[in-house]
Structure 1
Amino acid sequence: MEGTAHADAAQRLPEFPQPRTCPYHPPAGYRTLREQQGPLARVRLYDGRAVWTVVGHAEARALLTDPRLSSDWSHPGFPVTSPRRASIQKQALLIGMDAPAHTAYRRRLISAFTARRINELRPAIQRRTDELVDAILRQGPPAELSGALALPLSSLVICHILGVPYEDHTYFEQQTARLVARQAGEQDTLDALRGLRGYLDALIVRKEGEPGDGLIDTLVQEDLADGTLSREEISALALILLMAGHETTAGMITLGTLALLEHPDQLAAFRADPRLVPGAVEELLRFLSVADVATRVAAEDVQVGALTIREGDGVLLPNSAINRDPRAYPDPDHLDLARTDARHTAFGHGAHQCLGQNLARTELQIALHTLVTRIPTLRVAGPADRLAVKPADSGVQGIYELPLAW
């Protein structure tokens, strides 16, 4: 009887995640959770499980640095937000683990993503962006931004960092595109991930005999050679970097362009003064929060105000709600590119804060500013409210396509 009562209570909870009805605003239900339950709320996953969701900004930042919340995907209580997410969790490394293993892996990758290293890449990113915009202009309107600029730019940049040979980039892009396709289901995701793992496994073997200067080459020459990492670990690390740095950045370029075009006063300021670009990108990251939900499980009881997250409880931290907390951001639903508070959680917070955030910021600054300054009459081709919004369980929020005219 007790189990039945718990199940019935869970069924009465709000579902999570909830779909966006506007591409750049979080689900309206997240505000309702905050207003009715406070900074921590109880919600129900697709499988009927009751978990906590954190919609308060201060509470989220504190919990994301609390070692009592675990990122270990193998923990029996770890929450899964969709079957597709479960497929990805079975394939990836680094994100779904705790210290000391997470720290050791992260240390081997961080040199490729330092601010100094990314600044060295800035001319190459600008050059490739200009080439892609040149192609858009040659083709003439209409153009679809995701396929014409956002996906190829993010794919080519991560290929360059990893050391994927240029002659392989077409296959590489085809496989990564399958991960973000509109009709991608659980089996499609698995097939794409297996294809990429097979490619990366073969690439590592090639690089043992023909070393280059990418991150995979460094891991092969140093960590594989001395036995610190296996081929399987290097392949898994490369795969998670690809997934983490490809779809999120591409989604931000596409959705950031839409948000600017839908807010012409902000677009005018963004276009007019290049000095505003870095801060404007931070506001767009807060406002859009495309990498929406961080997931954790409580390894011990955690007290948050008058509430207790019990050991084994699942904890969800939706950035789109956290970054719209009015206690942290006055008028949070207003896009204000002059906003100076950049304590958003769009890249996470704490030990698992996004390794590639310097790269993502640079790509966004270059891509967005180049696009709107080189094509000053840019506009959305058709009604923005008819754009197909990604489903709530897709992981990275946003739109599949953005048709543009000028």
Structure 2
Amino acid sequence: MGEALHAVETMMLERRPGCPFDPPAELLEARGHGPVSSFTFPGDVPAYVITGYDEVRAVLVDPRFSARKELMLDLSMDITGWDPPPATPGEMVFMDEPLHGRYRKPLTSRLTPRRIRQLTERVEQITAECLDAMEAAGPPAELVSAFAKPIPTIMICELLGVPYEEREYFQEQVDQFLGGEASTEEQMTAFAAAHKYFAELVLAKRAHPTDDILSDLTETDLTNEDLKGISFFTMSAGFDTTANTLALSAFALLQNPEQLAVLRDEPEFAEGAVDELLRYTTVAKTFMRRAMEDVEVGGVLIKAGTVVVLSYNTANRDPERFPDPQKLDLRRKAVSHLAFGHGSHKCVGQQLARMELRIALTGLFNRFPTLRLAVPVEEIGLRPDTAAVYGMTSLPVTWDA
């Protein structure tokens, strides 16, 4: 009889005080017992948590595991006896083929390396404008609102063709819905307003196309509802994850001055530094899959119908893949990290996100070489780790004017 698996009691875990970049200690401990742990969802539904790097990658490319939203469970509440709805149009991360490809392929074909290169100059300009505003106002500054949020928000606006005069309203709705500080009622109001906005934007692009991805997509066979969904998905995925990675990366570098020196003084490591920061912060922490037939993972038989929780942030701290994984090392070759996922569902906008992070972070620390925290570390505003996307609510900084 085999040895009993280590049991993860709950996934609603907080990080240890003083360790804002490390996954919860309980998950790191689980990884130490093996790549697969047992878990029970509310309602006494048996499942597994997968914390090993190789095992998470294996599940993500195995067609015997489904990503369909209606087959998933909830980490915080008992939904047994309730039929969860399927993914909405455009919500491609919760779809299997061929529906997943119907939404992904048109978007991928328009986020080409050539288009990313064209956007590089614009990201440099937006970054410079944010830094100019910070410098003009003088120290101190709150880096999340002054820097980390505006850059990806403006880029998403321009990708989708949001008119310049409507950006302020757009950013307000995004911040309310995804910022992590609004009440549930405020979030739902912003959610409805964003959907209404995108529905109207799609009609406007059909009538008067401009030079943006949404206008391009109106020339495909995607319906108005499809395009509204893709726009909302692009905004959600492209803004919140990048903004929080940018803020956490700046915080991590300020906490690791020897690594900040690598970013500033050794430009040959700039590209790799971004991947190491993505590995180290991993803001999108977990995804789920359901086994559609019996599958063995990490020596454990996953029975058909069983849900597995894939712990991205723990897999990115797997010592068998990344030696000394708790250390931030910008010289590390971390390109194989799982912060963007893996396989057919790997983040569509990964190259855009990498480019934004590289330009924004190097620009920030080159402009303000004396940048430092303006408050004690314990006063930095962090989202609870129970949030869907980990990140920051505030990062007060100062510098020598």
Alpha-carbon displacement from aligned partner over 1:101-125 (angstroms, at most 9, x marks no partner):
1112111111332222111110110
Q: Distance in 1 between matches of 2:11 and 2:89?
A: 23
Distance of aligned partners of 1:240 and 1:118 in 2 relative to their CA distance in 1, 3 Å threshold = same
Q: Answer whether contact 1:111 1:117 (CA < 8 A) is retained.
A: no
Distance 1:391 1:66, change over 3 A: same
Matches within 5 A, 1:35-46: 35-36=32-33, 38-45=34-41
Q: 2:65 aligns with which of 60, 69, 72?
A: 69
Which of 122, 127, 130 aligns to 2:128? It is 130
Shift, 1:356, TM fit: 0.3
> Which residue does the alignment assign to 1:5?
none
Deviations 1:236-293 (A, max 9, x none): 0110011001000000110000000000101011111222110111111111111111
Q: Does 1:383 align with 2:376?
A: yes
Name the aligned partner's letter for residue 26 of structure 2.
G
Where in structure 2 are the equivalents of 1:3-402 lying within 5 Å?
Answer: 13-21=8-16, 22-36=19-33, 38-45=34-41, 49-75=45-71, 78-82=72-76, 93-220=91-218, 222-223=219-220, 228-402=221-395
- The Cα offsets for residues 277-318 of structure 1, whole Å up to 9 and x where unpaired, read as 101111111111111112211111111243111122111112
Residues 68, 298 of structure 1: 8 Å contact kept: yes
Residue 87 of structure 1, CA deviation: 10
- Scaled by the length of structure 2, the TM-score of the pair is 0.92
SS of match in other structure, 1:246: helix
Please state how far the C-alpha of 1:186 moved relative to its aligned partner.
4.1
Contact 2:340 2:346 in 1 (8 A): yes
User: Among the aligned pairs, what percent are the same residue?
Assistant: 38
Q: Deviations over 1:301-341 (max 9, x none)?
A: 11124311112211111211000001111100011110124
Tell me how far apart the structure 2 counterparts of residues 185 and 351 of structure 1 sit (CA, whole Å): 35
Q: Contact 2:35/2:298 (CA < 8 Å) preserved in 1?
A: no
Distance 1:32 1:229, change over 3 A: same
CA distance in 2, matches of 1:160, 1:357: 17
* Residue 311 to residue 191, structure 1, CA distance change in 2 (3 Å): farther
Per-residue CA deviation, residues 366-395 of structure 1 (Å, 9 max, x unaligned), is 000000110000001111133232123311
CA distance in 1, matches of 2:302, 2:185: 34
> Tell me, which stretches of 5 or more residues in structure 1 are unaligned?
1-11
- The one-letter amino acid paired with 1:146 is V
Aligned-residue offset at 1:90 = 6.0
Consecutive unaligned residues in structure 2, runs of 5 or more:
1-6, 78-83
Task: Provide closer, same or farther for how the CA distance between residues 155 and 335 of structure 1 changes in structure 2, counting only shifts above 3 A.
Answer: same
Instruction: Report if the CA contact (8 A) 2:272-2:331 is conserved.
Output: yes
Mean alpha-carbon deviation: is it higher for 118-127 or for 268-277? Answer: 268-277
SS at match of 1:112: coil
Report the RMSD for the aligned CA atoms in angstroms. Answer: 2.0
Letter in 2 for 1:54: I
| Aligned partner letter, 1:28 | A
The amino acid across from 2:73 in the alignment is P
Question: What TM-score, normalized to structure 1?
Answer: 0.90
Per-residue CA deviation, residues 52-80 of structure 1 (Å, 9 max, x unaligned), is: 111101111111100011111022xx123
Greater share of helix: 1
Q: Alignment partner of 1:311: what SS?
A: coil
Question: How many equivalent pairs are there?
Answer: 386
**Deviation of the 1:188 alpha carbon:** 3.4
The Cα offsets for residues 200-225 of structure 1, whole Å up to 9 and x where unpaired, read as 101111222221111111112x12xx
Aligned partners of 2:146 and 2:180: how far apart in 1?
Answer: 16
